[in-house]
């Protein structure tokens, strides 16, 4: 067991860190103020990220990406996570569920997305189906060679700027026997649906306290017809496709949190070492220094869990519990670290002049999206109890 990075990983981390500091961080205040990334700025960031070779870094070389492994991607996500989501999202890491595209789907969706000509969104959540996605009401009913979609998706990240959506919709019900006599869960299928398809409307989403400028949208489908060739994966196999490809998403959330925590910790440490009260720097008071000790310990623990999960993913050994532990530890850690960093700053920590209050607000959503902390605990505990039949 060893923890050293390779020379190549060191170089990649340094490149992404410099890009984040030079090209993204200077625009944080503007994005926060406007609640969006101006189009010209977004196009400029994308272009520079492509030139720097860090665009679509997670995708295989064969499809036009940089082909980085999961461990290296976790290091990349950590650096990008230090800045505002609305900005670092433009350094695309396309959802690798797109690798399930076959034939013509690759030309229409996968390749242009990896190249930065198109952008995807992913729509699972609905007003009545969040954690319990099997209860989704959005339906796709087969009609000859087409599917007719009806229903609503909400909370869809960057739905306002995407070109198409990877949509999960119910295409049938399990038999009552399969459901064990309980409520029959829906059979789910994944589809690729272009923005602009008649019957598909993108509406403004909710105002969110976290990640301003990275907006969510509501999608409504009203007799939206798409050809059956738009199925991603197999009919009724939507969750199987998602489970095969989306494990890395939780690692990305965890790694982003590591980066933001490191930035908050850096600010708090500098303040504790220089701010004087009662004739000495506040870091000399145990009430402050022990906070820093706890923050550093939680950060190190979350980082080890995240990198271990990524390392296991590269060996094909990552379980859903590994990813859940990393997400749970890192997101809960970030909430604590940003809160304590503000406490160390005192009143100044709450002021918009520093990035801390934003990082504290941004931390809030991490414990909710991509599966709440309770759902992560559910996944972890199930992996402990199931082998014993519990
Ligand atoms: C800003 C933002 C962006 C998002 N982006 C996307 C996106 O791009 N695409 C997408 O599909 N979704 C997206 N989501 C949705 C997100 O994944 C859901 O919010 C999340 O899964 C929780 O669902 P919910 O909000 O409906 O809460 P609910 O599922 O209603 O949960 C409410 C509470 O009950 C708890 N709970 C529920 N079930 C259990 C259980 N079995 N055991 C214990 N506790 C339980 C939850 O933990 C939570 O505390 C986004 C959400 C936000 C806030």
Q: Which range among 132-136, 169-173, 178-182, 298-302 has the greatest average pLDDT?
A: 298-302
Cα–Cα distance, 93 to 57 (Å, whole number): 6
Cα 135 to averaged position of ligand 1 atoms, centre (Å): 13
What Rg do the C-alpha atoms of the chain give, in angstroms? 22
If one residue of 190, 368, 377, 378 were mutated to test the ligand 1 pocket, choosing by the most ligand atoms within 8 A of its CB, it would be: 368
Q: Could you tell me the two tokens for 188?
A: 């789910």
Residue 127 · residue 200 · CB < 8 Å = no
Mean pLDDT of the 312-338 span: 97
- Is the pLDDT at 123 greater than 80? The verdict is yes
Distance CA 325, CA 308 (A): 10
Distance from the CA of 371 to the center of ligand 1, in angstroms? Answer: 6
Nearest atom in ligand 1 to the alpha carbon of residue 210 is: 1
**In ligand 1, which atom is closest to the CA atom of 124?**
11
The pLDDT confidence band at residue 177, using thresholds 50, 70 and 90, is low
Cα of 364 vs centre of ligand 1, distance in Å, is 13
Q: Nearest C-alpha to atom 45 of ligand 1 is from which residue?
A: 374
The distance in angstroms from the start CA to the end CA of the chain is: 33
Alpha helices in the chain (DSSP H): 7-19, 28-34, 39-51, 70-80, 85-88, 104-105, 111-114, 238-245, 247-274, 286-314, 320-345, 356-366, 373-385
Token pair for residue 324? 């859940």
Phi, psi of 159 (to 5 degrees): -65, -20
Q: Pick from 331, 327, 337: which is nearest to 364 by CA? A: 331
Measured in angstroms, how far is the CA atom of residue 167 from the centroid of ligand 1? 17
Task: Tell me how far apart the alpha carbons of residues 209 and 206 are, in angstroms, rounded to a whole number.
Answer: 10
Alpha-carbon dihedral sign for residues 374, 380, 382, 384: negative
Q: Atom 19 of ligand 1 has which residue's CA nearest to it?
A: 369
Give the length of the chain: 390
Burial label, 352 (beta-carbon count in 10 A; 0-12, 13-18, 19+): exposed
**Ligand 1 centroid distance, CA of 125 (Å):** 8
The band of 48, judged by pLDDT with boundaries at 50, 70 and 90, is: very high
Please tell me the distance between residue 22's alpha carbon and the centre of ligand 1 in angstroms: 34
| Calpha distance 36→300 (Å, rounded) | 33
What pLDDT, in 10s, does the model give residues 253-312? Answer: 999 999 999 999 999 999 999 999 999 999 999 999 999 999 999 999 999 999 999 999
Token representation of residue 131? 């954690």
Q: Atom of ligand 1 at shortest distance to CA of 153?
A: 11
CA 299 / ligand 1 centre spacing (Å)? 25
CA 253 / ligand 1 centre spacing (Å): 15
> Taking CB atoms and a 6 Å cutoff, what residues make up the pocket around ligand 1?
122-125, 130-131, 155-157, 208, 216, 365, 368-372, 374-375, 378
Residue 153 CA to ligand 1 centre (angstroms): 13
Residue 121 Cα: closest atom of ligand 1: 8
180-191: pLDDT as tens digits: 556 667 899 999
Set out the domains of the chain in order of their start, with CATH numbers: 7-95 (1.10.540.10), 119-238 (2.40.110.10), 246-388 (1.20.140.10)
Tell me how far apart the alpha carbons of residues 207 and 205 are, in angstroms, rounded to a whole number.
7
> How confident is the model at residue 390, as a pLDDT?
79
Question: Which atom of ligand 1 approaches the CA of 211 most closely?
Answer: 1
Q: How far away, in angstroms, is 108 Cα from ligand 1 center?
A: 31
- Which residue's CA is the nearest one to ligand 1's atom 12? 125
Phi, psi of 191 (to 5 degrees): -130, 155
Q: How confident is the model at residue 101 (pLDDT cuts 50, 70, 90)?
A: very high
User: What is the overall mean pLDDT for the chain?
Assistant: 96
Distance 68 CA to ligand 1 centre (A): 30
Chain Cα centroid distance, residue 85 = 9
Question: What pLDDT score does 178 carry?
Answer: 61
pLDDT at 2: 83
Q: Which atom of ligand 1 is nearest to the CA of 208?
A: 1
Q: Whose CA is nearest to atom 23 of ligand 1?
A: 130
Looking at ligand 1, which residue's alpha carbon is closest to its atom 41?
375
User: Which of 372, 373, 380 to probe ligand 1 with, by most ligand atoms within 8 A of CB?
Assistant: 372
pLDDT of residue 176: 62
Taking only the tens place, the pLDDT of each residue in 198-249 is 999 999 999 999 999 999 999 999 999 999 999 999 999 999 999 888 878 9
Gap between the Cα atoms of 72 and 10, Å rounded: 9
The CB-side HSE value for 128 (13 A sphere, CA atoms) comes to 6
DSSP 29-59: HHHHHHTS--HHHHHHHHHHHHHTT-TTTTS
Question: Would you say 96 and 58 are in contact if contact means Cβ atoms under 8 Å apart?
Answer: yes
CA dihedral 231, 141, 206, 211 (to 10 degrees): -20
Q: Ligand 1: which atom is nearest the Cα of residue 372?
A: 47
């Amino acid at each position: 067991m060893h923890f050293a990075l390779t020379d190549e990983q060191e170089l990649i981390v340094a490149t992404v860190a410099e890009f984040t500091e030079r090209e993204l961080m200077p625009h944080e205040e503007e994005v926060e103020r406007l609640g969006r990334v101006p189009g010209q700025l977004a196009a400029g960031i994308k272009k520079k990220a492509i030139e720097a070779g860090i665009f679509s870094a997670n995708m295989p070389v064969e499809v036009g990406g940089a082909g980085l492994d999961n461990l290296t991607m976790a290091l990349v996500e950590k650096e990008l996570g230090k800045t505002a989501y609305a900005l670092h999202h433009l350094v695309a890491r396309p959802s690798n569920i797109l690798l399930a595209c076959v034939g013509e789907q690759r030309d229409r969706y996968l390749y242009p997305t990896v190249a930065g000509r198109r952008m995807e969104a992913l729509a699972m959540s609905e007003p009545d189906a969040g954690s319990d996605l099997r209860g989704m009401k959005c339906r796709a009913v087969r009609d000859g060679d087409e599917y007719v979609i009806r229903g609503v998706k909400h909370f869809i990240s960057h739905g306002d700027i995407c070109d198409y959506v990877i949509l999960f919709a119910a295409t049938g019900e399990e038999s009552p026997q399969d459901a064990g006599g309980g409520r029959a869960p829906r059979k789910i299928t994944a589809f690729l649906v272009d923005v602009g398809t008649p019957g598909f409307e993108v509406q403004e989403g909710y105002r969110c306290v976290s990640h301003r400028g990275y907006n969510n949208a509501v999608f409504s489908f009203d007799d939206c017809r798409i050809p059956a060739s738009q199925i991603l994966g197999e009919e009724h196999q939507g969750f199987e496709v998602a489970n095969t490809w989306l494990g890395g998403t939780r690692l990305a959330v965890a790694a982003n949190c590591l980066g933001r925590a490191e930035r908050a910790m850096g600010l708090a440490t500098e303040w504790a070492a220089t701010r004087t009260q009662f004739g000495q720097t506040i870091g000399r008071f145990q009430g402050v220094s022990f906070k820093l000790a706890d923050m550093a310990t939680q950060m190190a623990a979350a980082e080890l869990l995240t990198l271990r999960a990524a390392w296991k993913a590269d060996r094909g050994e990552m379980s859903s519990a590994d990813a859940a532990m990393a997400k749970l530890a890192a997101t809960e850690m970030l909430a604590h670290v940003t809160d304590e960093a503000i406490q160390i700053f005192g009143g100044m920590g709450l002021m918009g002049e520093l990035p801390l209050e934003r990082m504290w607000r941004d931390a809030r959503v991490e414990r909710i999206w991509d599966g709440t902390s309770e759902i992560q605990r559910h996944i972890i505990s199930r992996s402990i109890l199931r082998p014993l039949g519990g």
